Amino acid sequence: MKINSKYKLDTIASKDTTREHFCDPYLDAEAEKLVATDGHRLIVVPVELEADTSGFIARDVLAEGRKLAKKARLAEVVLEGKQKLSNGAVFPTNQERHFPPWRAAVPDFQPGDKGTLTVGLDVRYLKELADALGCKDGAVVITIRLPPKGADALDPILVQALAPREKTTLTDYRDPDAFAVLMPMRVTGLKEGSK
CB 38 within 8 Å of CB 13 = yes
125 near 97, Cβ under 8 Å? no
Give per-residue pLDDT as tens, 129-141. 888 888 767 777 7
Q: What are the start-end ranges of the H helices in the chain?
A: 59-68, 123-132
Nearest to 1 by CA among 46, 43, 33, 47: 47
Q: Would you put residue 7 in left (φ > 0), alpha (ψ -120 to 50) or beta?
A: beta
**Whole-angstrom Cα distance, residue 10 to residue 21?**
14
Among 22, 118, 104, 3, which residue's Cα sits nearest to residue 62? Answer: 3
Interatomic CA distance for residues 135 and 129, integer angstroms: 9
The whole-number average pLDDT for the span 163-171 is 55
Phi, psi of 71 (to 5 degrees): -90, -25
pTM: 0.70
Q: How many percent of the chain have pLDDT more than 90? A: 8
Measured distance CA(25)–CA(14) in Å, rounded: 9
Fold of 2-105: DNA Polymerase III; Chain A, domain 2 (3.10.150)
pLDDT band at 30 (very low <50, low <70, confident <90, very high): very high
Task: List phi, psi (to 5°) of 39.
Answer: 95, -15
**Cα 26 to Cα 10: distance, rounded to the nearest angstrom:** 11
Under DSSP, is residue 152 helix (H, G, I), strand (E, B) or coil? coil
Task: Spell out the domain ranges in the chain.
Answer: 2-105, 109-195
Q: Label residue 172 by pLDDT band (50, 70, 90).
A: low
At 78 the pLDDT is 65
pLDDT the model gives residue 88: 67
